[in-house]
Structure 1
């Protein structure tokens, strides 16, 4: 039998692709019920018109994460109060897949969608660790030479390594930190520009997350108790 703690930990691995935070931290998990080998989860989003493809991706990932638990024989995930709730819930129940659920409206595959936001998440994580090094006194002209082995241990470094691994990029200590989506190091003269561009991506992600947390609390006042405190971010 699956325990609630096991189910919650599984849901912790489900990430909002646009906000780059677990759905559990954001308060998107409305309820979790366990009955024997059966698990039922209801999800809620900040608005009824949140992007359907993001909504489906999170609901589908939640179902997959729970289904992978030993002893979870029946898993049902429902998206509540969304303009495409019926469509998405039917697709999940029938295991129809993304394209099977949305048909001609599915412009991109889920793999393409994931790749886009994994690249953005990597860019933001890369900027966080490099900005932290600047704050610690490293001159900007030295950023080009920073490798993974130079980064201090901690959550920001661990997050960057996870995002590099998700993109198939090297996590060897000798690998340069400031790289493009393919793992190629930027030229030294481009460092200031690339860092500014990465900062704009990071600020956009964090700003959207803050906005969506507030919208969720406005729509569902009780959701505030389910949201994890926002971790301190670099500015």
Structure 2
């Protein structure tokens, strides 16, 4: 009778965690200002996944377009990266390091100690990360509204800007822009029923008819700013790091970024435990 040797549990768990698994998880981590996944932007510099005795050992290095990118944003992306990797079943340990930033040492030490945002920056942490997330999710929602309504205007030459105040979710063409808008509404706690008005303020209230054109123009300004900054930062990264362009995924003109990511919840480590 031939003995059957079972594979150790730790080895089986580790074998299920691959670099692709980690990259997919990182697709949920967004640059808060650019509203795009760090994997699309090329911010992942290197990723290693090795087998440890208790599970997968993951080591991630991140890079940014400049050394003076906002420390708030840098910490948020690095911390979110560590959180989504840690949440993967079969991962035993995670090391996330930010390279070539003026606050790299501070941020990396805070991440290693799980010190949280305020525990890392101490007196310099004026605002909470939750407030930062809310600010940029509102901007992302505004841009998503504009993309959908502009797509609708372009599809029907008889429509006017003044008509956009009455557009409901069921009027929008199906596609990645509408899907993105629904995700943004969910993240802000706004209704997602098909009869819901599309053009609303941050509290979910529609605009009076006379205010619709100005609201749409302001939304367009927000969307152009986000898209312009994303284009600019992509170029800076390619200039700073040779070959980094190969790691970037271009966003189709006028379209939402890669749609396979979910919004991260507002679970933020704010203080040192």
Name the TM-score, length of structure 2 as normaliser: 0.84
How far apart in 2 are the matches of 1:127 and 1:139? Answer: 14
Single out whichever of 3-12 and 54-63 deviates more from structure 2.
3-12
Confirm or deny that 1:188 pairs with 2:209: yes
More helix by share: 1
How far apart in 2 are the matches of 1:225 and 1:143? Answer: 39
How far apart in 2 are the matches of 1:69 and 1:149? Answer: 36
Residue 195 (structure 1) shift: 0.4
How far apart in 1 are the matches of 2:248 and 2:61? Answer: 15
How far apart in 2 are the matches of 1:84 and 1:142? Answer: 48
Residue 145 (structure 1) shift: 1.2
**Contact 2:152 2:173 (C-alpha < 8 Å) held by counterparts:** no
Confirm or deny that 1:90 pairs with 2:113: no
Unaligned runs of 5+ in 2: 1-13, 256-273
Residue 217 (structure 1) shift: 0.4
SS of equivalent to 1:73: strand
**Contact 2:168 2:196 (C-alpha < 8 Å) held by counterparts:** yes
Residue 230 (structure 1) shift: 2.6
In the other structure, the counterpart of 2:151 is: 132
How far does the alpha carbon of each residue in 1:134-173 deviate from its partner, in whole angstroms, 9 at most, with x for none?
Answer: 1112222221111111111100000101111111111111
Q: 173, 186, 209: which one pairs with 1:165?
A: 186
Higher gyration radius (CA) = 2
How far apart in 2 are the matches of 1:162 and 1:221? Answer: 34
How far apart in 2 are the matches of 1:6 and 1:209? Answer: 25
| C-alpha RMSD of the superposition | 0.8
1:58-137 aligned within 5 A: 58-137=77-156
How far apart in 2 are the matches of 1:141 and 1:115? Answer: 29
SS of equivalent to 2:138: helix
In the other structure, the counterpart of 2:176 is: 155
Confirm or deny that 1:222 pairs with 2:243: yes
How far does the alpha carbon of each residue in 1:27-55 deviate from its partner, in whole angstroms, 9 at most, with x for none?
Answer: 00001100111101000000000000000
Unaligned runs of 5+ in 1: none
In the other structure, the counterpart of 2:58 is: 39
How far apart in 1 are the matches of 2:204 and 2:87? Answer: 31
**Contact 2:46 2:60 (C-alpha < 8 Å) held by counterparts:** yes
Confirm or deny that 1:212 pairs with 2:226: no
How far apart in 1 are the matches of 2:220 and 2:165? Answer: 16
Residue 5 (structure 1) shift: 1.3
How many residue pairs align between the two structures?
Answer: 234
In the other structure, the counterpart of 1:23 is: 38
